[in-house]
Amino acid sequence: MLIELKSKDLLCLVKGALYSTLGICILYLIVTNQYKLYVSPRYELFLLLAGIATLCMGILTIAWAPPKQYKHIWKSIIPILLPIVLLVVPPILVPNTIQVQGVGAVTEDRNDFNFSQDDISEVITINNAAKEPGISKSKKEIVLNSDNYYQTIITMGSHPEEYIGYKLYMTGYVNRDDNTLKANEFTVSRMAMSCCIADVAPIGMTMHKDNGDTISNDEWVTIEGSVSTRNFHGRQQPYIEVQKIKNAEPVLGYVYP
């Protein structure tokens, strides 16, 4: 087998090895669920087929390599090598921010809205298991988690007046990138991915809390608030009056449409 490979063209063998490596990298990302750092979950099947096809291409390129040649254009391997480097060394491609920590890390949203152990004037205990995800009109309650986060915010933004007075519970990081924010206002956000890593952007809701300016930027918090509205460039926008707040563990990974 080794003698047979030695008689084949070196450039084709290198290309075959690189194609095979790229296919294995793609399949590894799917198996470990780390592909969600690069593309939306709805592309999982396409990515799986691409990984299998790339691996097969590598094997066939090696198997069908022509006899040894002595003139090679080595720069032709760059288009194959570049994605391998980007996938094998994730910090090059994955945003190195507090909102998405760790390489390939995705953690579950614990939805810990229990404020009973915190030093807050009004002590409440919330039974998470009994909560309906998203918007519950019967309870006048909105609970955001990783699964419904994007859709719930979009729904609220479409008809914010319908949810005035609802209790809202959510976890996210404090974001003050919006230059229209006033004193003691901040945004609680998560990083959203619509298609792929190229379109990652924060999505959240504007909050107000007495002494809100004392909350550190990029700090992860869980809040309980009351939904109201504000006028934002001529249209109504959800506006949350924060009633209770506590520190939270970062929820790693993205939210998706």
Considering 69, 92, 115, which residue would you say is the last residue of a domain? Answer: 92
Whether 222 maps to a domain, the answer reads yes
Whether 113 maps to a domain, the answer reads no
Rounded to the nearest integer, the mean pLDDT of the chain is 81
Residues 85 and 141 in one domain: no
Whether 86 maps to a domain, the answer reads yes
CB 168 within 8 A of CB 180: no
Instruction: Give the residue numbers spanning the domain of 206.
Output: 128-247
Residues 62 and 142 in one domain: no
Residues 54 and 144 in one domain: no
Q: What's the number of domains the chain is made of?
A: 2
Whether 236 maps to a domain, the answer reads yes
Q: What is the pLDDT of residue 110?
A: 58
pLDDT in tens, 5-21: 667 888 899 999 999 99
Considering 92, 113, 142, which residue would you say is the last residue of a domain? Answer: 92
Whether 64 maps to a domain, the answer reads yes
Q: How far is CA 134 from the centre of its chain?
A: 19
Dist. CA 257–CA 254, nearest whole Å: 10
Strand pairing partners for 192?
201, 255
Over 70: is that where the pLDDT of 98 sits?
no
Q: How far is CA 177 from CA 51, 169, 204, in A?
A: 38, 22, 11
Residues 87 and 165 in one domain: no
Whether 107 maps to a domain, the answer reads no
Q: What is the pLDDT of residue 94?
A: 52
Residues 86 and 133 in one domain: no
pLDDT in tens, 170-211: 999 999 988 889 999 999 999 999 888 888 899 999 999 999
What does the block give as tokens for 110?
């614990």
Residues 137 and 188 in one domain: yes
Residues 39 and 150 in one domain: no
95-99, 113-117, 188-192, 236-240, range with the lowest pLDDT:
95-99
Q: What is the pLDDT of residue 7?
A: 75
Selection from 138, 140, 136, 161 nearest residue 148 by Cα: 136
Whether 101 maps to a domain, the answer reads no
Dist. CA 75–CA 140, nearest whole Å: 62
Over 50: is that where the pLDDT of 101 sits?
no
Residues 149 and 222 in one domain: yes
Selection from 57, 50, 60 nearest residue 29 by Cα: 50
Contacts of 40 (CB under 8 A, 6+ apart): 193, 194, 195, 196, 256, 257
Query: What single-letter amino acid sits at 25?
Result: C
32-41, 88-97, 120-129, 193-202, range with the lowest pLDDT:
120-129
Dist. CA 19–CA 128, nearest whole Å: 47
Kindly provide the b/e burial profile for residues 21-39, where b requires at least 16 CB atoms within 10 angstroms of the residue's own CB.
Answer: bbbebbbebbeeebbbbbb
Residues 184 and 239 in one domain: yes
pLDDT in tens, 61-74: 999 888 877 777 88
CB 133 within 8 A of CB 143: yes
Residues 133 and 195 in one domain: yes
% of the chain with per-residue pLDDT over 90 = 45
- Higher-pLDDT residue of 228, 115: 228
Whether 105 maps to a domain, the answer reads no
Contacts of 110 (CB under 8 A, 6+ apart): 249, 251
Residues 88 and 7 in one domain: yes
Residues 195 and 84 in one domain: no
Give the residue-averaged pLDDT of 92-110: 46
The domain that holds 185 is classified in CATH as 2.40.50.140
Q: What is the pLDDT of residue 184?
A: 94
7-11, 128-132, 165-169, 250-254, range with the lowest pLDDT:
128-132
